[in-house]
Amino acid sequence: MKKILVVVSAVLVALVGSIAPSSAEAVEKTDPRGDAPARMDIARVTYRNMPQKAAAHIVVPELVRGGSAQLVIAPPDSDVFYIAYVRVAPNGTLRKRLTYATQVSERPQSCVFKAVWDAGANYIDVSVPRNCLKGMPPSLYMQAITGMGKDAAPPAYHLLQG
């Protein structure tokens, strides 16, 4: 429950802010360095909102094999959202789960999504099919987070579907 509250709190703080809408299918955001431990310090993230999927390419220059990341996907200005969790063990075992969340609860979703954790190339890719995101409008809010809230990249607001 504590993990849920950390992620939900980070998401809600970001959702309340007002940022100019993104106007394309993809947008790149730069995150300040040194705001999290090096192994989970996001440098930049590219969010993509495509007809078949919502995806993020997360660059962590000192990424190690072991840790966690989340991709939050929501309608703009909403308090309900999906969270794609990715966790990799030091032996390289990758675990994934998708949940539907509100301010007070999370429900697991039975849906297969793609994730790649490449410590050698310093990136994490997360791609969730649109058919897993029931009720999501064409325009999305997206945010990448590493280390269960240790580093939250700047979100994309009102990212239009390409």
* pLDDT of residue 49 exceeding 70: yes
Is residue 67 within a helix (H) or strand (E), and if so which, with residue range?
Answer: strand 67-74
* pLDDT tens, position by position, 71-96: 999 999 899 999 999 999 999 999 99
pTM for the complete prediction? 0.85
Residue 51 has pLDDT above 60, yes or no: yes
CATH topology of domain 2-159: Immunoglobulin-like (2.60.40)
- pLDDT at site 13: 39
Q: Dump pLDDT digits (tens) for 91-148.
A: 999 999 999 999 999 999 999 999 999 999 999 999 999 999 998 999 999 999 999 8
Residues 74-104 as b/e (b if ≥16 CB within 10 A, e otherwise) read bbeeeeebbbbbbbbeeeeeeebebbbbeee
Cβ atoms of residues 143 and 156 within 8 Å: yes
Going from N- to C-terminal start, the domains of the chain cover 2-159
